[in-house]
């Protein structure tokens, strides 16, 4: 009996190597209604038929597998998705889509407290905590704003940029005429958070500064004209 | 000489051109602000970064043309940063607690001590008697002094604080005061400003940013830059630049009139000698000042050993703080608080300038500007020499965009290394010469801590600083390019100047 159990235990111990996410890239196209159409592409190494719970970093629903190896299945699990790997050995690369909820929302101001953002500001927030034993090789999230909006400021970007890194944690850019913010972290270890919070506003500027600037400049030129008048 | 005060009075506009500059500078600043504010946004730029750039540009125009005193412009800038939502209130207010502001404040307590005890006067008279019988030799003496101090005291601000009383008194002897600034004073202050920064690049331990650059070169290319490698490349360029500026400054930039070539003390050099003799031996107060200054100097020079000796590092401002405590100590000190001449208006100017500079960094505007500049260049179809000239020029002049040498190093050196690899050049051939430009922060009064401190003497304008700084950087650039074409190639740092990318 022990001759049978020992190889089984050994086999189990050897096969219990933790699942490893080698690459995890998400793109979220934010819609004016506050939700986002997200597409996540991952490369995961794990045991055959192993179930891997993958957080998506947003409140989410409507998970659907878009592309992947035969036998790979998804099971929704709140703000995470359970992925059942196929029987064939990996690593496996697959893509799934989901709807990110509350991806683009006005600031929530608790009653009796002061607002920290103007009424027309929206907040884009993503927060992901790495729960896997093995580090994630490359993690990235790209959020694209609806047309007519731009990022006002990057309020939070985690983890903090290390002294040896030359790239900012969150980089702004553009794709298809829309402004994007991309969070990128390499070698994300267990327990580390990868998060970004950005404030977005309408991309059109108020004419107030233009009017005020012209009035003040005109007043100065009139009131201080003696500076350049020839004294008689 | 004993009663020098750094007043907050705005300098009167001298010529009609200056009056017109002041008059039109105000609407000019507003116009630039509006253009930058309403320009279509760059994709990589946040709203706050664009607004911050507009605010900083407005302030820069006002600092240069001076429609208001510089400190009023700083206060306006701080308010603008808040109302345009470039920065929250806390980081704007926090700048008044920054290391450089504290160092500035403490520096003036120590300077007041040296002036009150007449130690600064004694040292200045001695310097004039020994080296300063002519204005040109007095200026050269300061170049040599800064060169000698650079390897000993790594903190540029500390070096500036240490030499400031001497600079002010020598300036006074040659007739340059805050009320009557002359060309000698401008040359003296700006030559010291350039000397303090440029001569820091003589050694790789001259500043922590130099070491960060060396670290990047080693980690990204595997090439170790040794102390002597840096010095062999950097020292001749820095020293030659300073000698050229010593000549160019007094001959072309701010020509010293023949009557200002000699000490302007009534009675001439004989009187200087008489005054020096009349001072007699060191007074007890002077000896106390000397001991206090010695303690501060000792702490500045030995900062790398502090952790071992004291279990804590006493940074440059804290060393000055120790000095200030001794200076102001009741009964045994040298000064009373009311005797300390602290130019608060200058601290406010510095605070506003730093708030603006930090906003450019924090919002990513400075980083975006530099990347856009590099991204828009096609360096693949040009010879090494041309690419070298462009890359080192960006490194040299980019100090106008940021107030931190370290931030500039962290942004630019990795880009330069990566770009050189992509072009097929040895990355060290670009990165090491670029690293030699890190410390040349001489263009504006806010580009470095010594600049802020020296600007407080109120003897030159932002425009004077810009003119002198740009000429210094351009002289350095020309020397770097000539070096790349000649002896950098001979000692193996650079490939042939006309080589094309592989």
Could you tell me if B87 lies within 8 Å of chain A, comparing CB atoms?
no
Element (H, E) at A101: strand A92-101
Of A156-165, A203-212, B443-452, minimum mean pLDDT range: A156-165
Q: What is the mean pLDDT of chain A?
A: 87
Residue A77 has pLDDT above 70, yes or no: yes
Q: Classify strands A20-30 and A136-144 as parallel, antiparallel or unpaired.
A: parallel
Element (H, E) at A175: strand A170-175
Residue B241 has pLDDT above 80, yes or no: yes
Measured between beta carbons, the chain B residues lying within 8 angstroms of A163 are 212, 410
Question: In terms of Cα–Cα distance, which of B386, B391, B369, B379 is closest to B422?
Answer: B379
Q: Which two tokens stand for residue B159?
A: 């070096």
* Residue of B46, B50, B408, B418 to mutate, interface with A, max A Cβ within 10 Å: B46
Predicted confidence (pLDDT) per residue in A168-206, tens digit: 899 999 988 899 999 999 999 888 999 999 999 998 899
Of A148-152, B3-7, B284-288, minimum mean pLDDT range: B3-7
Q: Which two tokens stand for residue B446?
A: 């806010």
What is the Cα–Cα distance from B210 to B291, expressed in whole angstroms?
32
Average pLDDT for residues B394-422, to the nearest whole number? 83
Q: What is the pLDDT of residue B16?
A: 81
Q: Which two tokens stand for residue A59?
A: 């409140």
Predicted confidence (pLDDT) per residue in A165-178, tens digit: 767 899 999 988 89
Query: Which of A118, A152, A220 is closest, CB to CB, to B26?
Result: A220
Predicted confidence (pLDDT) per residue in A113-145, tens digit: 888 899 889 999 999 998 888 889 999 999 999
* Residue of A209, A214, A231 to mutate, interface with B, max B Cβ within 10 Å: A209
What is the Cα–Cα distance from B141 to B129, expressed in whole angstroms?
12
Predicted confidence (pLDDT) per residue in B421-460, tens digit: 888 899 999 999 999 999 999 998 888 889 988 988 889 9
Q: Using the 8-state DSSP alphabet, how is residue B250 labeled? A: I
Whether B234 and B493 have beta carbons less than 8 Å apart is answered as no
Length of chain B as a residue count: 502
Measured between beta carbons, the chain A residues lying within 8 angstroms of B84 are 209
Q: In the beta sheet, which residues pair with residue A140?
A: A25, A184
Determine the straight-line distance between the first and last CA of chain A, rounded to whole angstroms. 119
What is the Cα–Cα distance from B357 to B205, expressed in whole angstroms?
25
Predicted confidence (pLDDT) per residue in A27-71, tens digit: 999 999 989 999 999 999 888 888 888 889 999 999 999 999 999
Within 10 A of B27 (CB to CB), how many other CB atoms are there? Answer: 18
Measured between beta carbons, the chain A residues lying within 8 angstroms of B414 are 166
Q: Classify strands A149-158 and A193-202 as parallel, antiparallel or unpaired.
A: antiparallel
Measured between beta carbons, the chain B residues lying within 8 angstroms of A224 are 23, 26, 67
What DSSP assignment string belongs to B349-379?
HHHHHHHHHHHHHHTTHHHHHHHHHHHT---
Show the CA angle centred on residue A94, arms to residues A92 and A96, nearest 5°: 150
CB contact under 8 A, B367 and A224: no
Predicted confidence (pLDDT) per residue in B85-137, tens digit: 999 999 999 988 887 788 878 878 888 888 888 888 888 788 778 887 789 99
What is the Cα–Cα distance from B26 to B111, expressed in whole angstroms?
35
Could you tell me if B40 lies within 8 Å of chain A, comparing CB atoms?
no
Q: Domains plus CATH for chain A?
A: 15-205 (2.60.40.1730)
Phi, psi torsion values for A155, nearest 5 degrees:
-85, -35
Q: Classify strands A92-101 and A36-45 as parallel, antiparallel or unpaired.
A: antiparallel
Q: Using the 8-state DSSP alphabet, how is residue A194 labeled? A: E
Q: What is the pLDDT of residue B474?
A: 97
Whether A136 and A77 have beta carbons less than 8 Å apart is answered as no
Burial class of residue A119 in the structure, from the number of CB atoms within 10 Å of its CB (0-12 exposed, 13-18 middle, 19+ buried)? exposed
What is the Cα–Cα distance from B73 to B63, expressed in whole angstroms?
7
- Choice between A30 and A9, residue whose per-residue pLDDT is larger: A30
CA distance A89 to chain B (A): 36
CA distance B161 to chain A (A): 30
CB contact under 8 A, A210 and B26: no
CB contact under 8 A, A172 and B46: yes
CA distance A109 to chain B (A): 18
Could you tell me if B48 lies within 8 Å of chain A, comparing CB atoms?
yes
Q: Using the 8-state DSSP alphabet, how is residue B150 labeled? A: T
Own/partner long-range contacts of B416-424 (Cβ < 8 Å, ≥24 apart): B416/B391, B417/B216, B417/B217, B417/B220, B417/B221, B418/B220, B419/B374, B419/B379, B419/B391, B420/B391, B423/B379, B423/B380, B423/B387, B423/B501, B424/B501, B424/B502
Q: In the beta sheet, which residues pair with residue A188?
A: A136
What is the Cα–Cα distance from B404 to B98, expressed in whole angstroms?
13
Residue B18 has pLDDT above 80, yes or no: no
Whether A54 and A83 have beta carbons less than 8 Å apart is answered as yes
Task: Find residues 397-416 of chain B whose CB sits inside 8 Å of chain A.
Answer: 410-411, 413-415
Q: Using the 8-state DSSP alphabet, how is residue A105 labeled? A: B
Per-range mean pLDDT, top range of A5-9, B30-34, B102-106, B298-302: B30-34
Helices (H) and strands (E) in chain B, counts: 23, 0
Query: Which of B30, B212, B216 is closest, CB to CB, to A217?
Result: B30
Question: How many Cβ pairs within 8 Å bridge chains A and B?
Answer: 79
* Contacts (Cβ under 8 Å, ≥6 apart) of B231: B202, B203, B204
Predicted confidence (pLDDT) per residue in B164-219, tens digit: 888 888 888 888 988 889 999 999 999 999 999 999 999 887 887 888 888 888 87
Question: In terms of Cα–Cα distance, which of A190, A128, A181, A192 is closest to A153?
Answer: A181
Element (H, E) at B396: helix B384-397
Q: What is the pLDDT of residue B60?
A: 85
What is the Cα–Cα distance from B403 to B411, expressed in whole angstroms?
13
Question: In terms of Cα–Cα distance, which of A47, A53, A41, A52 is closest to A89?
Answer: A47
Average pLDDT for residues A159-163, to the nearest whole number? 81
* Residue of A182, A213, A214, A219 to mutate, interface with B, max B Cβ within 10 Å: A213
Q: Which two tokens stand for residue A12?
A: 């189990």
Phi, psi torsion values for A86, nearest 5 degrees:
-70, 170
Q: What is the pLDDT of residue B158?
A: 79
* Residue of A152, A196, A200 to mutate, interface with B, max B Cβ within 10 Å: A152
């Amino acid at each position: 009996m022990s001759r049978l159990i020992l190889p089984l235990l050994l086999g189990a111990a050897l096969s219990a190597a933790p699942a490893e996410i080698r690459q995890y890239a998400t793109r979220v196209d934010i819609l004016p209604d506050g939700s986002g159409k997200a597409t996540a592409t991952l490369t995961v190494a794990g045991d055959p038929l192993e179930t891997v719970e993958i957080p998506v970093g947003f409140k989410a629903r409507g998970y659907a597998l878009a592309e992947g190896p035969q036998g790979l299945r998804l099971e929704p699990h709140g703000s995470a998705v359970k992925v059942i790997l196929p029987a064939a050995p990996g690593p496996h690369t697959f893509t799934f889509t989901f709807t990110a909820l509350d991806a683009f929302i006005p600031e929530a101001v608790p009653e009796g407290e002061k607002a920290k953002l103007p009424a027309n500001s929206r907040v884009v927030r993503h927060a992901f905590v790495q729960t896997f034993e093995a580090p994630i090789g490359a993690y990235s999230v790209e959020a694209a704003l609806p047309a007519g909006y731009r990022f006002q400021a990057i309020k939070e970007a985690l983890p903090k940029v290390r002294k040896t890194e030359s790239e900012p944690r969150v980089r702004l850019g553009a794709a298809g005429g829309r402004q994007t913010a991309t969070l990128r972290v390499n070698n994300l270890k267990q327990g580390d958070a990868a998060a970004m919070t950005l404030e977005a506003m309408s991309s059109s500027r108020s004419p107030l500064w233009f009017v005020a600037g012209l009035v003040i400049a005109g007043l100065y030129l009139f009131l201080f004209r003696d500076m350049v008048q020839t004294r008689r | 000489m004993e009663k020098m005060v750094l007043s907050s009075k705005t300098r009167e506009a001298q010529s009609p051109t200056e009056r017109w500059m002041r008059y039109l500078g105000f609407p000019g600043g507003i116009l630039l602000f509006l253009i930058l504010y309403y320009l279509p946004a760059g994709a990589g730029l946040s709203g706050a970064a664009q607004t911050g750039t507009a605010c900083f540009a407005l302030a820069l125009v006002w600092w240069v043309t001076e429609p208001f005193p510089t400190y009023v412009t700083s206060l306006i800038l701080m308010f603008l940063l808040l109302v345009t939502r470039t920065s929250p209130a806390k980081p704007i207010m926090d700048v008044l607690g920054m290391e450089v502001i504290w160092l500035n404040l403490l520096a003036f307590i120590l300077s007041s001590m040296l002036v009150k005890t007449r130690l600064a006067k004694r040292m200045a008279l001695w310097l004039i008697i020994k080296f300063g019988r002519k204005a040109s030799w007095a200026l050269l003496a300061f170049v040599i002094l800064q060169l000698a101090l650079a390897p000993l005291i790594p903190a540029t601000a500390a070096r500036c604080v240490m030499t400031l009383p001497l600079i002010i008194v020598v300036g006074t002897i040659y007739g340059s005061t805050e009320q009557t600034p002359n060309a000698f004073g401008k040359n003296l202050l700006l030559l010291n400003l350039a000397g303090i920064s440029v001569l820091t690049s003589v050694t790789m331990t001259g500043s922590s940013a130099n070491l960060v650059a060396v670290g990047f070169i080693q980690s990204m290319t595997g090439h170790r830059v040794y102390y002597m490698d840096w010095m062999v490349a950097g020292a001749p360029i820095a020293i030659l630049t300073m000698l050229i500026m010593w000549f160019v400054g007094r001959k072309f930039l701010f020509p010293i009139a023949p009557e200002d070539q000699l000490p302007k003390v009534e009675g001439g050099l004989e009187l200087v000698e008489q005054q020096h003799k009349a001072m007699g031996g060191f007074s007890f107060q002077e000896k106390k000042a000397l001991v206090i200054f010695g303690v501060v100097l000792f702490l500045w020079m030995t900062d790398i050993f502090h952790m071992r000796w004291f279990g804590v590092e006493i940074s440059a401002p804290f060393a000055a703080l120790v000095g200030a405590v001794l200076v102001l100590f009741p009964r045994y000190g040298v000064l009373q608080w009311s005797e300390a001449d602290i130019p608060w208006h200058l601290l406010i100017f510095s605070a506003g300038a730093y708030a603006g500079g930090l906003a450019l960094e924090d919002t990513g505007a400075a980083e975006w500007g530099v990347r856009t500049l590099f991204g828009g260049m096609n360096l693949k179809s040009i010879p090494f020499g041309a690419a070298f000239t462009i890359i080192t020029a960006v490194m040299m002049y980019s100090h106008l965009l940021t107030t931190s040498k370290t931030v500039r190093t962290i942004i630019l050196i990795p880009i330069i290394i990566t770009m050189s690899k992509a072009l097929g050049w040895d990355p060290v051939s670009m990165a090491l010469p670029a690293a030699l430009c890190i410390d040349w922060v001489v263009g504006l009064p806010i580009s470095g801590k010594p600049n802020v401190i020296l600007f407080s003497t109120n003897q030159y304008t932002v425009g004077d600083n810009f003119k002198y700084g740009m000429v210094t950087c351009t002289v350095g650039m020309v020397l770097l390019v000539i070096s790349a074409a000649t002896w950098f190639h001979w000692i193996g740092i650079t490939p042939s100047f006309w080589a094309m990318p592989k």
